[in-house]
Amino acid sequence: MQQPGFWDDQNSARQKTEERSALAEELDFFKNIESELKNLQDFSVEYKDQQESSEKDYAQEEFKKLRARFEEMRVRAMLSGKYDGHGAILSIHAGAGGSDAQDWTEILLRMYLRYAEKNKFKVDTLEISRGTEAGVKSVMLEILGMNAYGLLKSEAGVHRLVRLSPFNPAHTRETSFALVEVLPIIHHDEFQINMNDVQIEANTSGGHGGQSVNTTYSAIRLLHVPTGTRVSIQNERSQAQNKEKAFEVLHARLFALEQQKRAEERKELRGEFHSPEWGNQVRSYVLHPYKLVKDHRTGYESSDPDSILNGELQPFVENYLESKI
């Protein structure tokens, strides 16, 4: 960071600054945790023969705080993958189930937005397609923050919902599916694209932003000719912003394809990419006739789907990471 010209490349400088801050935070933790535990141990020895509950309560409370901090760092220690520290591109696609599936996709969207908020991640909606009657057909999010990809990679796969349908008069029990795709944001110096292989098309945007957004050629569509990979972004006001985001997504998708060719890193990067249908789910959410959320890869269960759908995903994330150690 002290080198001349460090700030000439704003994106690279921001990435390095965020990396430095995260490393400094971890270093401070390990510097402080040992001395704080030693102080607590000395305090406990000094007051172990006293009957006053205030000292005991204080020691127990301090221990709980230290243990919580240690657990947080333990999870970070499990994020040892090469790209775990990167931001993530998370996409959700409605599967079989019609309006129920589209509503389920919107419920998952809200769940991930709340999880991101709890982790102080920055979220930008790159693309969203609303359902004709309800919910969301598909949505793509950019999620920025330290270890965003490492924490969210456990969500890749098909998510299954069982509930009483709010979309038919009989309110029968229905099963809906949604596919979640999670990719790491790849820096340009980590993976290069041959620009001669990319076709760029600008169109009038149909997204949000008021009347002016429809009068300019702000929507960007990219086609990577050798692989047939397509990216379309129109949620930003300016063509330059959309182009930058589109190439970010294209980098991530092409990088994932390259990794699939090389080795069995497919599960690490995208999860098993199955069609969003019965039998291929990584996690089931049952709201009727009983309440249960079960991860089929780790066996971890919760009988409190309301809190899970409100963004309390950390137990599922931690169990997935532990299963990979």
Q: Over the chain, what HEC string results?
A: CCCCCHHHCHHHHHHHHHHHHHHHHHHHHHHHHHHHHHHHHHHHHHHCCCCCHHHHHHHHHHHHHHHHHHHHHHHHHHCCCCCCCCCEEEEEEECCCHHHHHHHHHHHHHHHHHHHHHCCCEEEEEEEEECCCCCEEEEEEEEECCCHHHHHHHHCEEEEEEEECCCCCCCCEEEEEEEEEEEECCCCCCCCCCHHHEEEEEECCCCCCCHHHHCCCCEEEEEECCCCEEEEECCCCCHHHHHHHHHHHHHHHHHHHHHHHHCCCHHHHCCCCCCCCCCCEEEEEECCCCCEEEECCCCCEECCHHHHCCCCCHHHHHHHHHHCC
How much is the pLDDT for 213?
Answer: 39
Q: Which two tokens stand for residue 55?
A: 């000292």
Give the Å distances, CA to CA, from 324 to 172, 267, 320: 38, 11, 7
How much is the pLDDT for 208?
Answer: 45
299 burial (CB, 10 Å; 0-12 / 13-18 / 19+) is exposed
**Residues 6 or more apart whose Cβ sits within 8 Å of residue 16:** 1, 6
Low-confidence ranges of the chain (pLDDT < 50): 207-215, 265-266, 278
State the pTM of this model. 0.78
Cα–Cα distance measured from residue 187 to residue 184, given in angstroms and rounded to the nearest whole number = 9
The alpha carbon torsion through 281, 286, 290, 294 (nearest 10 deg) reads: 50
**Cis peptide bond N-terminal to 276, omega within 30:** no
How much is the pLDDT for 272?
Answer: 54
How much is the pLDDT for 298?
Answer: 95
How much is the pLDDT for 32?
Answer: 85
